[in-house]
């Protein structure tokens, strides 16, 4: 069976210039139609339809199969274009019951104003909807509802409400609903994902074998644009896949899910030196999002088992270990068993049988416990009690393989529920059919996320071609596709400025309100927001390539704390701008610390910059500023030599949202990163802040180039959803801007600098002159400069440059800021902020002096009670969304009389507002105004005489929508999470998108493990031993509090050491060269090898093998009952969770070797204890505190400790041995290939912030 083109679209241009579109359904039959004009939608009766078709002057445009709705696209604050979306091409994929499922292959986007360039605005959306990834259903029965593709079979037995997670064109239905159009008759609901249907004959009966994958639109996007989680706990590439069999009245269904790792991480596209996993937010402040995701899983599925397929190789190990540590630190993590399974290491082509062994030892019991759904008609015979959540890095190829395996395994259990069939034959047929359906399903999901099909790992040539295609797709085409997805899901109903303001002030679901409501709420924000003070310190320093690093870190006379903490007391020049004689009031809330030339600007660093200095500075800075208050890393970003760190005071971390960063190269015309800028933005409560650190072009006379650098960075820095630097409430710039002094001699400049004539120097400052002429930093404010020029000095002296070039002193290092005036609606009463301190600090280890500025700004906090009151008032003012009134005249006057008709229209237009459409409904006029406010004004004319000549003929005016306040609120809340629990069928009790929900606020307070960049690279055995040691030391109270569950119990089985090569971290320890870290400790001995699972054969150099330790026997009868986690022992890596490499190259001479026998013995005792007991050892909390002090060492050149600094914690790092000899190519990330990384998609090697 097929579907006919039942929709006909016609159009015409009215004499008044309005463009009209007529939409008819089944024109050959007497059916109603819809007219679109001037932004309104009007349904006509069959009689009116016939009149319009005969005399309306409409000309047919096209025929279509279905209508998806109306897309609203705002390109300026007050200018909006509406597009009617019609399906013009589709193909049938099969039939379920009385409904046929169609895949959309082409759509038409019809502009409601018919502008010549309108199609360019939505070209990306049209291409997205026509990509073959969207499906809709059509019922062959006249009065029956079509099959709801958004609901799994088990949920469909509990509710008939469409699941908003998979309702991709939900926003396109809103415009019809506002004008009371029956969307169930005119529109269809679109699903994005994959639908595959096959017919199978079982025992002489026809069955439908279906595989339906539903991609969530809560965090949708392309591979390198959307990764990890967002602040609401939604993850990228979240897909529900349902394997369902329909046989007469019998329904058999099995549901699995996949989703990205619920942390803040990203992976840029293939660029030279930057295809790496990057943690985009600090570990501690990521825990809230992780807990929210776990909470959502609990709310929606009741019971969930997490299957983590990440590799233990260096490229994925940091993210893998962070995933594990956050799960253990989660408030509700103990409710979800966690299985680590290194798919690449354990399931190469020669060892696929390890999947079977994993199923038998771990997964089979969960499959039996959760079961599957079985129904006979409307009677439920069995429910699925939980789901398996599978993930790898991309949730593509490895996840496809694992879910295929699980689905085929479940078929044998499902077939047993079918009566009177030959089990063997039925199972064989279904396995054969579903094997093909799962392959198609993997291709469909992969095309949505990467633009190409899935990699199978069987044909090297085919998979290699797909890998190259992915690389091109990810780097050249994904940006426009991501924008199209955002427009389709979130819409663009406001201009950008109002859109950003609304996102800060209003809950997530408010964004679906009409533009007039959102604009009014934004304009009145001062009525429901309170101001509070926020102290921000912005510091900048050009460290001259990181040279003399040890002198910077350990200078006892001038420690880094003088620059970042004690700058008020350590400043030798100038003075405080506020409260000169008193101490700073209260602690600093936000630190933004920028560096330039953090590495040498040589060719190798420009191509692939080193991040070693970045990691060293991160540790030192966090220890320094946390001396009196605890500060957490928000994020960090580096572009060759430019680096920016942002920290937040721990108590304020729950209020940080929407953290993003970007970078722009300006060196050599934008080709290299030796010059350029980096930016970090986030939202604190209801205020957005943006920090920019930049390094401009050098040279005495390159003023224009420096101004161009500023302009280019401002123009090209782009954050998600089109945000730019200038779209934030506060913007702070810092850096080495390289502006020099003009029209003054070198001698005069040096004399003025030494004699304190700073005003004279500023008269010749290029930045001041350019700013005054409007060429750069327009509207930015800089504090008074009361200190000498910061450049250029001889190293470690107070002497300006005495070298051959003898450069003139200059104020190259600056800090500026500005506040955005959002709506010009009363902002004059707000405080733009105060510069409390602006000075330089005398650290002499570079040719620049560091600069620090302290600001006190006013940020907004929403009073939710007041906001609700204002919202009700705005709803009342804005009027009904359909802007429609009914008009009659008392006295039974004929409204078709031209004079009466004209009098009514003139009166309403003069007193109420612009009228866009009028139609007759019997002896009643239905009048539609330009907006709802005009409709409310028209209501005030009720009872007025038609004219002074007809005092007895009074107008009777009523609104079409009376209780519009409640109607609009119902419309908004319908956009919230409505997914019922898979097991209980209960609606969600907590809405994380509602900022008033107490449970959501409580989850915001979750603080994750404080992960030191060294700790995360420990192997699992070392991680356990180090944590146990830290726990023993914390008994004395020297720990940092985090949320953890000491009552949790997890079974530990070391599959990594059983099936993979020995870890390189098992080599003898050595003392690192860097004086910042204590020496590495020896790892604990490896556990006994489990012979049950076959181990891939890999060569390992003898030098990397640890001395053999007798294996302890372990009682397995009890452990299998309580074991809930299979842990892979990951190989050692040279990266940390923030993408930063080892602190230094370790020495390997015998004289520097060190052994801590106490630590080794305690590790052995811990392993022996876990092997001897009959139950699994309790899960230990993550490494939130430092391990005990090591025996004192006094190697040569070890600097003394700094008394003024109290370190937050130091965690040891394992020692890497020489790498093993080359091994034949293995599976590569989600590309299940054995191909060379240089010719195919590069494998991320290290992680960075």
Q: For the domain that residue 953 is a member of, what is the CATH number?
A: 3.30.70.330
Phi-psi region of 1170 (alpha: psi -120 to 50; beta: other; left: phi over 0): alpha
Q: Which of 442, 463, 491 is the last residue of a domain?
A: 491
Shared domain check, 137 and 201: no
Tokens of 1190: 């090591």
Shared domain check, 181 and 209: no
Among 384-398, 531-545, 570-584, 1055-1069, the range scoring the smallest mean pLDDT is 1055-1069
Shared domain check, 216 and 181: no
Shared domain check, 407 and 356: yes
Shared domain check, 782 and 908: no
Smallest Cα–Cα separation from 526: which of 196, 858, 280, 857?
Answer: 858
Give domain status of residue 1114, yes or no: no
Shared domain check, 855 and 715: yes
Which alpha helices (H) appear in 1149-1236, and where do they start and end?
Answer: 1157-1172
Integer angstrom CA distances of residue 1212 from 73, 1194, 1198: 54, 17, 17
Tokens of 193: 């994902």
Shared domain check, 893 and 856: no
Shared domain check, 311 and 208: yes
Q: Output the furthest CA–CA distance in the chain (Å, rounded).
A: 113
Task: Give the H/E segment covering residue 62.
Answer: strand 59-64
Helices then strands (H, E): number in the chain? 35, 38
Give domain status of residue 597, yes or no: yes
Locate the DSSP E strands across 1004-1136: 1125-1126
Pairing of strands 884-889, 950-959: antiparallel
Q: Which of 915, 939, 960 is the last residue of a domain?
A: 960
- Give the pLDDT confidence score for residue 77 in this predicted structure: 54
CA 798 from centre of chain? 47
Contact status, residue 744 vs residue 605, Cβ threshold 8 Å: no
Q: Which of 939, 960, 981 is the last residue of a domain?
A: 960
pLDDT digits (tens, 9 = 90+) for 209-218: 999 999 999 9
Average pLDDT over residues 1233-1241: 36
The sign of the dihedral angle between the CA atoms of 120, 124, 126, 131 is positive
Shared domain check, 1089 and 1026: yes
Pairwise CA distance, residues 126 & 487, whole Å: 11
Give domain status of residue 1225, yes or no: no
Q: Which residue has the higher pLDDT, 231 or 1021?
A: 231
Shared domain check, 288 and 197: yes
Average pLDDT over residues 385-406: 95
- Give the pLDDT confidence score for residue 1108 in this predicted structure: 43
Give domain status of residue 225, yes or no: yes
- Give the pLDDT confidence score for residue 54 in this predicted structure: 79
Smallest Cα–Cα separation from 1179: which of 1006, 1027, 1008?
Answer: 1027
Give domain status of residue 871, yes or no: no
Give domain status of residue 448, yes or no: yes
Contact status, residue 270 vs residue 470, Cβ threshold 8 Å: no
Integer angstrom CA distances of residue 597 from 254, 628, 923, 1138: 56, 29, 79, 20
Pairwise CA distance, residues 687 & 833, whole Å: 13
Pairwise CA distance, residues 1071 & 322, whole Å: 26
pLDDT digits (tens, 9 = 90+) for 1059-1075: 443 333 333 333 333 33
pLDDT digits (tens, 9 = 90+) for 749-805: 999 999 999 999 999 999 999 999 999 999 999 999 999 999 999 998 999 999 888
Shared domain check, 178 and 209: no
Tokens of 146: 């079509």
CA 13 from centre of chain? 44
- Give the pLDDT confidence score for residue 515 in this predicted structure: 83
Tokens of 674: 């030796």
Contact status, residue 1081 vs residue 1069, Cβ threshold 8 Å: yes
Classify 21 as helix, strand or coil: strand
Residue ranges making up the domain that contains 380: 192-491
The count of structural domains within the chain is 5
Q: Which residue has the higher pLDDT, 202 or 1025?
A: 202
Cis peptide leading into residue 792 (ω within 30°): yes
pLDDT digits (tens, 9 = 90+) for 360-370: 999 999 999 99
Pairwise CA distance, residues 926 & 933, whole Å: 16
Average pLDDT over residues 130-141: 94
Among 366-375, 495-504, 1205-1214, the range scoring the smallest mean pLDDT is 1205-1214
CA 264 from centre of chain? 7
Give domain status of residue 158, yes or no: no
Residue 1206 has pLDDT above 80, yes or no: no
How many Å is the Cα radius of gyration of the chain? Answer: 33
Shared domain check, 887 and 848: no
Classify 122 as helix, strand or coil: coil
- pLDDT-derived band at 392 (thresholds 50, 70, 90) equals very high
- Give the pLDDT confidence score for residue 608 in this predicted structure: 65
Which CATH number belongs to the domain containing residue 697 in this structure? 3.60.10.10
CB count, 10 Å around CB of 865?
A: 9
pLDDT digits (tens, 9 = 90+) for 426-465: 999 999 999 999 999 999 999 998 876 555 555 554 454 4
Q: Which residue has the tokens 């934030």?
A: 728
Tokens of 1193: 């060492």
Give domain status of residue 975, yes or no: no
- List beta partners, residue 1114: none
């Amino acid at each position: 069976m097929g579907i006919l083109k039942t929709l006909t679209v016609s159009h015409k241009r009215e004499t008044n210039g309005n463009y009209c579109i007529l939409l008819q359904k089944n024109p050959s039959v007497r059916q109603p139609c819809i007219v679109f004009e001037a932004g309104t939608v009007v349904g006509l009766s069959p009689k009116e339809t016939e009149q319009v078709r005969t005399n309306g002057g409409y000309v047919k445009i096209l025929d279509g199969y279905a209508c998806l709705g109306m897309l609203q696209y705002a390109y300026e604050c007050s200018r909006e274009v509406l597009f009617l979306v019609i399906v013009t091409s589709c193909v049938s994929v099969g039939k379920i019951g009385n409904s046929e499922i169609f895949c959309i292959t082409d759509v038409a986007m019809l502009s409601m104003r018919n502008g010549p360039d309108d199609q360019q605005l939505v070209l990306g959306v049209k291409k997205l909807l026509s990509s073959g990834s969207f499906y809709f259903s059509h019922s062959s029965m006249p009065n029956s509802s079509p099959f709801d593709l958004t609901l799994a079979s088990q949920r469909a037995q509990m509710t008939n409400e469409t699941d908003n997670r998979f309702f991709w064109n939900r926003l396109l239905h809103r415009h019809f609903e506002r004008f009371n159009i029956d969307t169930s008759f005119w529109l269809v609901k679109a699903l994005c994902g994959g639908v595959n249907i096959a017919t199978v004959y079982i025992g002489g009966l026809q069955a439908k074998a279906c595989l339906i994958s539903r991609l969530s639109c809560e965090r949708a996007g392309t591979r390198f644009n959307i990764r990890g989680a967002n602040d609401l706990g939604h993850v990228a590439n979240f897909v529900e896949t349902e394997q369902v069999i329909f046989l007469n009245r019998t329904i058999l269904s099995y549901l699995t899910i996949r989703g990205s790792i619920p942390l803040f991480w990203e992976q840029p596209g293939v660029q030279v030196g930057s295809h790496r996993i990057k943690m985009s937010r600090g570990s501690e402040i990521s825990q809230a999002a992780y807990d929210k995701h776990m909470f959502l899983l609990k709310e929606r599925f009741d019971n969930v088992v997490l299957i983590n397929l990440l590799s233990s190789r260096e490229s994925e190990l940091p993210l893998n270990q962070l995933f594990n540590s956050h799960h253990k630190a989660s408030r509700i993590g103990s409710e979800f068993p966690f299985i680590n399974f290194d798919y690449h290491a354990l399931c190469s082509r020669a060892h696929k049988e390890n999947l079977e062994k994993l199923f038998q030892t771990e997964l089979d019991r969960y499959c039996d416990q959760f079961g599957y759904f079985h129904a006979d008609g409307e009677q439920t015979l069995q429910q699925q009690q939980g789901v398996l959540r599978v993930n790898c890095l991309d949730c593509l190829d490895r996840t496809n393989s694992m879910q295929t395996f699980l689905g085929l395994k479940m078929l044998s259990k499902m077939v047993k529920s079918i009566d009177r069939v030959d089990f063997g034959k039925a199972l064989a047929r279904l396995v054969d059919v579903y094997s093909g359906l799962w392959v198609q399903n993997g291709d469909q999901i992969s095309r949505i996320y990467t633009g190409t099909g899935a990699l199978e790992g069987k044909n090297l040539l085919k998979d290699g071609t797909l890998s190259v295609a992915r690389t091109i797709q990810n780097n050249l085409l994904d940006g426009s596709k991501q924008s199209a997805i955002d427009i389709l899901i979130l819409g663009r109903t406001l201009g950008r400025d109002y859109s950003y303001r609304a996102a800060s002030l209003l809950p997530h679901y408010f964004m679906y309100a009409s533009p007039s409501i959102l604009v009014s709420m934004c304009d009145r924000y001062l009525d429901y927001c309170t101001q509070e003070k926020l102290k921000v310190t912005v510091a900048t320093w050009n460290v001259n390539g990181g040279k003399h690093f040890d002198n910077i870190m350990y200078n006892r006379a001038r420690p880094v704390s003088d620059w970042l903490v004690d700058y008020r007391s350590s400043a030798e020049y100038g003075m405080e701008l506020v409260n000169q004689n008193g101490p700073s009031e209260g602690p600093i809330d936000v630190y933004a610390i920028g560096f330039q030339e953090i590495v040498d600007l040589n060719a190798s660093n420009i191509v692939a910059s080193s991040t070693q200095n970045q990691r060293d500075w991160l540790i030192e800075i966090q220890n320094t500023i946390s001396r009196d208050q605890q500060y957490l890393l928000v994020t960090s970003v580096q572009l060759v030599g430019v680096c920016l760190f942002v920290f937040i005071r721990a108590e304020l971390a729950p209020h940080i949202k929407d953290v993003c960063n970007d970078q722009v190269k300006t060196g050599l015309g934008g080709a290299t990163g030796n010059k350029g800028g980096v930016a970090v933005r986030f939202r604190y409560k209801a205020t957005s802040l943006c920090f920019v650190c930049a390094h401009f072009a050098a040279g005495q006379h390159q003023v224009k180039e420096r101004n161009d650098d500023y302009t280019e960075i401002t123009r090209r820095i782009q954050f998600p959803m089109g945000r730019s630097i200038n779209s934030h409430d506060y913007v702070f710039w810092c850096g080495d801007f390289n502006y020099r002094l003009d029209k003054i001699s070198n001698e005069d400049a040096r004399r003025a600098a030494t004699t304190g004539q700073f005003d004279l120097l500023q008269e010749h400052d290029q930045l001041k002159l350019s700013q005054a002429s409007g060429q750069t930093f327009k509207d930015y404010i800089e504090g008074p400069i009361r200190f000498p020029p910061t450049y250029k000095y001889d190293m470690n002296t107070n002497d300006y440059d005495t070298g051959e070039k003898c450069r003139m002193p200059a104020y190259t290092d600056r800090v500026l800021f500005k506040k955005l005036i959002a709506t010009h609606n009363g902002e004059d009463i707000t405080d733009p902020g105060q510069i409390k301190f602006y000075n330089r600090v005398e650290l002499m280890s570079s040719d620049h002096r560091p600069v620090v500025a302290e600001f006190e700004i006013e940020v907004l906090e929403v009073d939710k009670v007041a906001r609700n009151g204002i919202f009700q008032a705005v709803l009342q003012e804005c009027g009904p969304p359909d802007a429609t009134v009914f008009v009659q005249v008392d006295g039974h006057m004929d409204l078709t009389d031209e004079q009466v008709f004209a009098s009514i229209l003139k009166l309403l237009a003069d007193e109420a507002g612009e009228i866009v459409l009028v139609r007759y409904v019997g002896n009643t006029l239905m009048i539609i105004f330009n907006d709802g406010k005009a409709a409310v004004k028209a209501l005030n004319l009720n009872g007025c005489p038609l004219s002074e000549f007809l005092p007895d003929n009074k107008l009777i005016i009523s609104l079409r929508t009376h209780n519009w306040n409640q109607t609009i609120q119902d419309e908004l809340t319908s956009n919230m999470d409505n997914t019922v629990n898979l097991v209980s069928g209960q609606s969600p009790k907590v809405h994380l998108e509602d900022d008033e929900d107490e449970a959501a606020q409580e989850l915001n307070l979750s603080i994750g493990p404080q992960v030191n960049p060294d700790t995360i690279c420990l192997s699992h055995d070392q991680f356990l031993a180090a944590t146990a040691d830290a726990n023993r030391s914390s008994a004395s109270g020297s720990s940092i509090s985090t949320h953890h569950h000491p009552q949790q119990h997890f079974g530990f089985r070391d599959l990594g050491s059983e099936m993979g090569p020995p870890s390189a971290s098992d080599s003898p320890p050595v003392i690192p060269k860097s004086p910042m870290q204590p020496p590495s400790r020896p790892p604990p001995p490896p556990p006994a090898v489990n012979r049950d699972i076959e181990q891939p054969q890999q060569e390992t150099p003898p030098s990397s093998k640890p001395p053999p330790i007798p294996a302890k026997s372990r009682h397995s009868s009890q452990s299998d009952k309580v074991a809930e986690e299979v842990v892979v022992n990951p190989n050692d890596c040279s990266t940390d969770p923030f993408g930063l490499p080892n602190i230094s190259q370790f020495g390997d001479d015998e004289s520097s070797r060190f052994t801590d026998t106490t630590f080794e013995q305690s590790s052995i005792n811990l392993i022996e204890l876990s092997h001897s007991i009959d139950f699994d050892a309790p899960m230990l909390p993550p490494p939130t505190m430092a391990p005990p002090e090591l025996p004192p060492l006094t190697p040569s050149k070890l600097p003394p400790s700094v008394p003024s600094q109290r370190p937050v914690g130091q965690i040891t790092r394992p020692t890497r041995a020489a790498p093993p000899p080359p091994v034949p190519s293995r599976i590569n990330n989600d590309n299940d290939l054995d191909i060379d990384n240089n010719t195919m998609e590069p494998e991320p090697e290290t992680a960075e912030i």
